[in-house]
Amino acid sequence: MRKAKKKKAVPPALQNRLSELEEQAAQMGFQVHYDLLEAAGLKLKGGICKIKGEYHLFIDRRNSTIDRIDILKDYLVNAEKIISDYVPCNEEMMKV
C-alpha cells in the first residue's frame, strides 16, 4: 500500500497573492479553473477557452502555488492581446 503524499503548507503571503490575482481575473471577466490538464500523455501548463461568450482560464492543478501565480500573472498582463487575438474554433475547423 502506498502512502498518500502530504501537501506542503502554502505560505499565507503566497496564498494571499494568488487570491488577489484570481480576484483580478474575475474583475477582468476571466473564470479561473484548476484542473488536471493532460491529453494523450502531454502535460499542459494552462490555456484560455471561450465558452458561451465567457473566457475561462484553465491552469493545471498540479502546478505549485508559485507556478500558478506566474501563469496567472502572465495571462492577466497579456489579457487584452489574448482576447483580441483569440480565434474561436468552429465546426469547419474541427473537420479532418
Please name the residues in contact with 88: beta carbons below 8 A apart, sequence gap of 6 or more: 50
Q: What is the pLDDT of residues 17-73, one digit of tens each?
A: 999 999 999 999 999 999 988 877 777 777 888 888 888 999 999 999 999 999 999
Q: What amino acid is encoded at 54 in this protein?
A: E
Query: For the whole model, what pTM was predicted?
Result: 0.74
Q: What is the dihedral of CA 14, 36, 31, 90, to 10 degrees?
A: 150
Q: Give the whole-angstrom CA distance, residue 14 versus residue 89.
A: 35
Residue for grid cell 461568450: 53
Q: What is the rounded average pLDDT of the residues 9-19?
A: 93
pLDDT of residue 95: 46
pLDDT in the model for residue 79: 81
